Amino acid sequence: MDQQEPFHQQLKQLRIAQGFELADISATTRIDPRFLAALEEGDFDVLPMTYIRLFLRSYCEFIGFDFEEAVQQLEEVTGEARREDLPSYAESVPMKNPDISVKAGAGMGDETRTPVRLRQDLFTGSVIIIFLVVLTIFARRAYEPPAESLMPTAMGSTPAAVAPIPVTPPPNTGGNGSQPVVPLESEFEFPDELFSQDRIIANVQERVRLTPPVRLTLMVRDNLVIQPISGGVAEVPFNMTVAKARRWTINEELILRTTGIHLLRGDLNGTPINFGQAQGLGTLRITPTGVYEVSAYLSR
């Protein structure tokens, strides 16, 4: 990359070289895409100066660019020196009467706060807000009432109402440690027509930056039925129990059909999967690149 180019052009070239869109960065950093675009184009007048360094830091961390180099060039372009290098307000006031100056400075509040202290306060406030958001999400998931379980019936039938899935004890696996398999004569089936695109009522799609190989760890909050579809080939459904987690290495696209998408909990290489508001009959689709999609389907 040409080091003589403005840093904002280097940022854009590095992002494009890595195959990322501005929407990918916005989804992770929660920064408005128009601010990211302005950052890449060097249009700093439209950026809020209070947050421009925070935006630049998040952008650089996402694509792996040197933040110190970027902020140094930003200061050269905008003509604004680092705040910690500027004299404070109290130091710039002539000290005709030291006692009066000290007392006046003590009562000015935010005007005499140092830039370092201001950044610390902003960081502390951000951490508190993130903690409250995470706490709220976990509280909602912990106390939300369980949705009515949905059970697909035999192939070709579309009943108006569906009954909850009965929980049956798993058969003896013979001590090999594998999950119990639903008998072939079981009434549980997953007709393809139940999973058509026009029946989707809730959908979450996210792209996670992962280092291959991508590994899925899956757990459930209650017993349910799951059917894996690996590389387009449907496998035999099995009974997923709360007693043991299941793990897959994603070498090709994996789709997990389930009768209770809201009962799933899992992660990809340690990164939790966002199941959103999906309820009941649903699918979890994962690609070897770390893109995953959660869908819930209307039951007829």
Read off the tokens for 46: 């439209």
Q: Does residue 297 share a domain with residue 222? A: yes
Q: Does residue 75 share a domain with residue 168? A: no
Out of 33, 60, 80, a domain closes at: 80
Out of 47, 80, 113, a domain closes at: 80
Residue 21, pLDDT score: 94
Contact assessment for residue 218 and residue 264, using Cβ atoms and an 8 Å cutoff: yes
Q: Does residue 151 share a domain with residue 297? A: yes
- C-alpha radius of gyration, the chain, whole number: 27
Q: Determine the straight-line distance between the first and last CA of the chain, rounded to whole angstroms.
A: 56
Please indicate, yes or no, if residue 256 is contained in any of the structural domains. yes
Please indicate, yes or no, if residue 300 is contained in any of the structural domains. yes
Please indicate, yes or no, if residue 98 is contained in any of the structural domains. no
Q: Does residue 151 share a domain with residue 74? A: no
C-alpha distances in angstroms, 1 versus 17, 61, 77?
Answer: 11, 18, 20
Q: Does residue 156 share a domain with residue 73? A: no
Q: Does residue 297 share a domain with residue 171? A: yes
Q: What CATH number is given to the structural domain containing 22?
A: 1.10.260.40
**DSSP sequence for 67-120:** HHHHHHHHHHHH-PPPGGGSPPHHHHS--SSHHHHHHHHHT-GGGG--HHHHHH
Q: Does residue 177 share a domain with residue 265? A: yes
- CA dist 224 and 30 (Å) reads 35
Please indicate, yes or no, if residue 75 is contained in any of the structural domains. yes
| pLDDT tens by residue, 204-252 | 878 777 888 899 999 998 888 898 999 889 888 888 888 789 999 999 9
Residue 299, pLDDT score: 67
Q: Does residue 176 share a domain with residue 63? A: no
Query: How does the average pLDDT of the chain come out, rounded?
Result: 74
**What is the total count of domains within the chain?**
2
For residues 56-64, give the mean pLDDT: 92
- CA dist 274 and 267 (Å) reads 9
> Which range of residues forms the domain containing residue 27?
7-80
Burial class (CB in 10 A: 0-12, 13-18, 19+), 130: exposed
Please indicate, yes or no, if residue 197 is contained in any of the structural domains. yes
Q: Does residue 294 share a domain with residue 159? A: yes
pTM of the predicted model, to two decimals? 0.40
Out of 54, 80, 106, a domain closes at: 80
Residue 278, pLDDT score: 81
Please indicate, yes or no, if residue 222 is contained in any of the structural domains. yes
Read off the tokens for 249: 């290495």
Q: Does residue 214 share a domain with residue 74? A: no
Contact assessment for residue 174 and residue 267, using Cβ atoms and an 8 Å cutoff: no
| pLDDT tens by residue, 4-45 | 678 888 889 999 999 999 999 999 999 999 999 988 988 888
Is the per-residue pLDDT at 92 higher than 60? no
Is the per-residue pLDDT at 98 higher than 90? no
- CA dist 110 and 236 (Å) reads 65
Q: How far is CA 102 from the centre of its chain?
A: 48
| Long-range Cβ contact pairs of 180-185 (< 8 A, separation 24 or more) | 180/238, 180/239, 180/241, 181/236, 181/237, 181/238, 181/239, 182/225, 182/236, 182/237, 182/238, 182/239, 184/236
